[in-house]
Amino acid sequence: MTRRFSWFNATSLTLGFAFLYLPMVILVIYSFNASRLVTVWAGFSTKWYGELLRNEAFLKAAWVTLKVALLSSTLATVLGTMAAYALVRAGRFPGRTLFSGMIYAPLVMPEVITGLSLLLLFIAIGLDRGVLTIVLAHTTFSMCYVSVVVSARLVSFDRSLEEAALDLGCTPFDAFRSVTLPIIAPAVISGWLLAFTLSLDDLVIASFTAGPSSTTLPIKIFSAVRLGVSPEINALSSILILIVTVGVVSAALVSKRTILRREAEARKARRQ
C-alpha cells in the first residue's frame, strides 16, 4: 500500500527546506549587490569578488584553513580507519571498552571543553600554537566521525572474501590492501570528506589552538562580522557554498558510479 503525499507533508517539506536553504540563497544573491550596504539592493555587480581576491588577510586565512583541513582530514582518516578496524575485527581485548570510549568521546564532548583541554596540553608540553596545533586538534575531534562511518561499513562486510584471499596465499596485509580496502573505500572517502568539512567549519576549537600567525578562515570571518557584515563576506561565503556543493555532488556521483559498476560486475559474474 503506497502512502499518499498529502498537502501537510508537502507544506512541511517546503517550509523545512526554505528554513535551511533560503538564507543561503539570499546570501548568494546579495553577494552580487553593488551597494556596500548588504541589506539595500543597488544593482548587479561582481566587484566584491574582485575586492575579495585582493584582500590578503582573507586569502592568507583561506590558505591556512585549506592546509589544515587537508592535513587533519588525511590523518583523521588513517587513524579513524585503523581504530574502526581494531574495534570491529580485533574482538574482545583488554581495554577495549576504554579504547572505544576514548574514540567516541569527542562525539559528545562540548567543543569548548575539547578546545580548552587541548590548549592546556599544548601549554604544558611547551608546544607553540600554530598550524601544527590546529592540525592535531582537528585530527583529534574528527577521527571519531571517520571511525563511526568506517565501522558501520566493516560490520556489514562479508569476511568470506578476506578468508578466500588468505586461503589463496595472501598475507593479512595483502588481503586488507587488495580486498578489504577497495570494498570499504566509499566509506573511507565519506569519512575523509566529513573530516574535511568539519575542519573547514570549525571555529571553537581552532580559536583555542590557533596562534597569531595561523588564523583560520572561520576565525577571520567571525572577527570581521563582529564589526559588521560586509559584501566581501557575502562573496566569500558564496564561494564556500559553491565549493562544498561541488564536493558533495562529485562525491555522490563517484559513489553512484562505483555502485553501478559493482552491480554490473556482479550480474556478469552470475551469468558466467
Which of these ranges, 177-181, 186-190, 199-203, has the smallest mean pLDDT?
A: 177-181
Residue scoring higher pLDDT (97 or 118): 118
d(CA 85, CA 153): 10
Looking at the chain, the number of H-run helices and the number of E-run strands are 12, 0
Put simply, whether the predicted model's pTM sits higher than 0.75 gets the answer yes
Q: Mean per-residue pLDDT for 118-140?
A: 91
Residues 125-134 have pLDDT tens digits of 988 888 999 9
Q: For residue 5, what pLDDT is reported? A: 65
Residues 82-96 have pLDDT tens digits of 888 888 877 777 877
Find out whether 178 and 170 touch, Cβ atoms under 8 Å: yes
Is the predicted pLDDT of residue 168 greater than 60, yes or no?
A: yes
Cell reading at 138:
582537528
Residue scoring higher pLDDT (251 or 241): 241
Q: For residue 1, what pLDDT is reported? A: 45
Phi, psi of 260, rounded to the nearest 5 degrees: -65, -40
Find out whether 127 and 60 touch, Cβ atoms under 8 Å: no
Find out whether 38 and 105 touch, Cβ atoms under 8 Å: no
